[in-house]
Amino acid sequence: MNLTIDQTYQTQVEAALKKIYNQAKTAGATTYSDGAYAVAMNPKTGAILAMAGESNDRTTTEVSDDALGVINHTFVMGSAVKGATVMGGLMDGVITPTDNTLPDTPIYLVGTPVKKSVYPVGTFSSLTAQSALEVSSNIYMMHLIMKEANADYVANSKMNMSPDIFTKMRGYFNQFGLGQKTGIDLPGEAKGIEGATLDSGGNTLVGSALDLSYGNYDAYTLIQLAQYISTIANGGKRMKPYLVDSIQQTGTDGSLGKIETKTAPTVLNTIDAPQSYFNVVKEGMYNVVNGSNAWGTAHTLKDIKPTLAAKTGTAQSFARTDPNDSTSAQVETVTSSLVGFAPYDDPQIAIAVVFPNLTSDDGHYNTLLAREMITDYYKLNNIKE
């Protein structure tokens, strides 16, 4: 059996993940951490290039290899999924490639803390879809979903939404692989976790729908994130990830014989949308790395050549103080993620990384790992500008 994984690159990704996770550990950021995970795939074929995981035992603090966590662990990933939100808005017709400016005013719901972005209120009066991706505006995504849901929003008043908003949003997300099994040729793949859509009175959970719009509600596997960003990178084909490249006969003396079967790339579905829609998202992700806005979230990677496009994610998460006691107190944590593809003009690699349940993401571990994964791949494959 021949695998798609390049062993040299696999070793490099494993080493980079271990090194950067140890940095987080040394910084005291892993007290409640589950570990860290990374995957790289060819966005045009679905071939897995590398897959690595570190599982952290919070009781013993021992770290062990857990590559399968890429397919069987689910996490709320945060803003990394905003590309799918923007694509949903475009496909729904509430914005267009040439008319996608929305107000960047916070959302005030009754009995709920103000829903805003990380930057100060008033930083932007309005944003385009591309700019919203660059600065990772939660506000933009919420206004976009409110348009899709025909919401009757008035600040500090009860807001109603179309009751099918969760179905609609998840329908668009599913087309990119988020919340769907990817079909990877490994056993035990998880589907993901969907949050509740109705309260005890049967009313739409409006605040939760807004949270879903910027990736802070449903949970996904990392392989789903890799499939989603690959679909963006290749212009709309959701490729089935695979590890088995071919099956080859072995002679009685141990020598390799003829190839019996060769895996052909499989398109699971094609997004019914013009390339102009994808270009909006790609431009936004290009600006995440290469833009000039001071609030851009991955400008530290702009020196990578050929150019990388990416989307970072930071999700508000929670962990039990005692991992062995489901009744122990919960503490607020941060899950840091990133998706990306490179080179921008001709994507040959798509990556997804996640560092769940950190006490702080001040170390920017997601971008540190992305840098090593992309630059190592470039060097190994002699990819130059």
> One-letter amino acid identity for 255?
S
Q: Residue 162 in 3-state DSSP?
A: coil
Say how far apart CA 103 and CA 109 lie, in whole Å: 17
Amino acid at 182: T
What is the distance of C-alpha 44 from the center of its chain? 18
Q: Is 213 a catalytic residue?
A: no
The SS3 call for residue 352 is strand
**Catalytic member of 33, 79, 136, 137:** 79
User: What is the identity of the amino acid at 173?
Assistant: F
Comparing CA positions, the residue from 331, 335, 297, 333 lying closest to residue 314 is 335
Q: What is the DSSP letter of 146?
A: H
Residue 267 CA to residue 258 CA, distance in Å, equals 27
From first CA to last CA, the distance across the chain in angstroms is: 35
Question: Which tokens belong to 193?
Answer: 């976790």
Query: What string of DSSP letters covers 313-325?
Result: EEEEEEEESSTT-
The rounded distance, in Å, linking the Cα atoms of 320 and 214 is 24
The backbone region for 37, taken as left when phi is positive above 0, alpha when psi lies in -120 to 50, beta otherwise, is: beta
Q: Which helix (H) or strand (E) holds 360?
A: none
Residue 377 CA: distances (Å) to CA of 43, 44, 75, 173, 374: 14, 16, 26, 29, 5
Quote the tokens at residue 75. Answer: 């996490």
Of 236, 195, 204, 198, which is closest to residue 83 (Cα–Cα)? Answer: 236
Q: Would you list the DSSP string of 77-132?
A: -GGGGHHHHHHHHHHHTSSBTTB--EE---B--TTSPPB--SSPTTS-SEE-HHHH
312, 80 Cβ separation under 8 angstroms: yes
CA distance 359 to 47: 34
The two tokens of residue 334 are 């941060």
3-state secondary structure of 39: strand
**Active site (catalytic) residues:** 79
